[in-house]
Amino acid sequence: MDIYVARQPIFDREMRLFGYELLYRESGTNSFHGTTNDGHATASLLANSVLVIGFDELIEGTKGFVNFPEDFLVQQLPRLLPKQKIIVEILERVTPSREVISACRLLKKDGYTLALDDFVFGRKDYEELIELADMIKVEFSRTRIKDQMRFIQKYRGQKILLAEKLETMLDYRFALAMGYDLFQGYFFSKPLMINAKEIGYQQANLIRILKELREPEPDLIRISTLVQEDLGLTYKLLRVANTIRYGAKYRIKSVGQALIRIGTEDMIKWTHIMLLTGAQEVENAELVKRSLIRGKMLELIAIKLGLINQSSDYFITGIFSSLDQILSQPMQEILTKLPLDQEVFEALLGNENDLRICLDSVVKFEQAQWDVTLPFIKSHKLTTEDFMSLYLKAIKWQHTLSEEEAKTTHL
């Protein structure tokens, strides 16, 4: 299915690009009608920005402004993104409770930049949040000029002041002369829509993973198995593991390593976010199903050949072999965003190695091209009966996943 994120540029006084405000969009109409609650909107924005499109690609080396409702602040969800890259926007509807103030203090203490969004003048209950905030955003065209002037005189030099909703050249020049530091609005650009393909995932698996993560001693092997049963979750997990917050110079070779890199606490947060965004309809369900069967088949072949330590590489090679078709993107572009082992990377690009030879044999078997599959079977001292048996096991495994999902859905 298609997902959408909008971004609107923000400029400094020298008209240099400072960052982008990232905005939730539920369709390609480039508008937000307010029918979605703040939590769902932010969860969808985070999921689409990080797990699908890529946060770094969206902000292009600048900073990303993201709105957070109060419960997300209390849960410390801004920590899922690197503090060097994010501006934490506190929504104007946030109630400045003790929990919210404490959460903001923790974020501030650890180096996160806090911004008050759509600042409302005269709110006495916002004094502590104003004190904590690094940046204050003012709706220029909807606020009296004399109120803005008093505000600027009071806070200039203490806070970064951003004039938003600038709609004309006159608005911009006036805001510049008044002393604002940053500028945003339709005068510069309407929010630009970014569109990408989403890979669906099974809600049932998310619930099982969350239950396991909340155990006193989570079983990483069990969680890895649950993730690997779902193409969408495997793809998203590896995307998360390769973000700036978690990224390292060493490539990840397995889902288990990705889980260790991310950590239990953040895995719980990401799982909640994916649950909150709701079940996804998979338009290309058959292609996803075939990818899962292919991945399991490659894993079973590896085990049959005594390559147990490499079975995870074989599995990932199989399930990711159709990502270019599923996401409608070049494979090279997709793989640069995933922290895969070099052998897996090369195999998925089509370069010949043991993984690729095995993948090709399975693909050709699916297409009933035995002239490719038979030499592989013979050279690896297998029989056609072995091959067929393994493939039937892979199909049965995939059917089991579908049946489990159906049972959970109808509970």
What pLDDT does residue 47 have? 77
Mean pLDDT of 24-42: 67
Residue 410 binned pLDDT confidence (cut-offs 50, 70, 90): very low
DSSP assignment of 346-391 equals HHHHT--SHHHHHHHHHHHHHTT-HHHHHHHHHHTT--HHHHHHHH
What pLDDT does residue 375 have? 92
Mean pLDDT of 95-109: 93
- Find the domain containing 220 and state its range: 200-276
Mean pLDDT of 341-363: 92
- CA nearest 62: which of 98, 102, 107, 9? 9
Lowest mean pLDDT among 6-10, 178-182, 191-195: 191-195
Q: What CATH number should be reported for the domain holding residue 78?
A: 3.20.20.450
- Residues 144 and 19 reside in one and the same domain: yes
Lowest mean pLDDT among 35-39, 149-153, 180-184: 35-39
- Residues 170 and 250 reside in one and the same domain: no
pLDDT tens digit string along 221-270?
Answer: 889 888 888 888 888 888 777 765 655 556 666 788 888 888 888 888 88
Domain termination residue (choose one: 253, 276, 299): 276
Mean pLDDT of 208-224: 87
- Residues 86 and 220 reside in one and the same domain: no
Lowest mean pLDDT among 202-216, 350-364, 366-380: 202-216
Domain termination residue (choose one: 226, 253, 276): 276
What pLDDT does residue 362 have? 92
- Residues 41 and 63 reside in one and the same domain: yes
- Residues 219 and 358 reside in one and the same domain: no
CA distance 342 to 348: 10
- Residues 209 and 340 reside in one and the same domain: no
Domain termination residue (choose one: 196, 221, 248): 196
What pLDDT does residue 351 have? 93
- Residues 292 and 255 reside in one and the same domain: no
Q: What are the phi and psi torsion angles at 333 (to 5°)?
A: -65, -40
Domain total of the chain:
3
- Residues 208 and 336 reside in one and the same domain: no
Question: If DSSP states are collapsed to H, E and C, what string results for 111-164?
Answer: CCEEEECCCCCCCHHHHHHHHHCCEEEEEHHHCCHHHHHHHHHHHECCEEEEEE
pLDDT tens digit string along 313-328?
Answer: 898 899 889 888 888 8
Averaged pLDDT of the chain? 84
What pLDDT does residue 36 have? 62
Say whether 199 sits in a helix, a strand or coil. coil
Lowest mean pLDDT among 42-46, 89-93, 161-165: 42-46
- Residues 160 and 29 reside in one and the same domain: yes
Q: Looking at residue 77, what DSSP letter applies? A: G
- Residues 300 and 373 reside in one and the same domain: yes
Residue 311 binned pLDDT confidence (cut-offs 50, 70, 90): confident
- Residues 116 and 229 reside in one and the same domain: no
- Residues 267 and 385 reside in one and the same domain: no
Q: What are the phi and psi torsion angles at 67 (to 5°)?
A: -75, 140
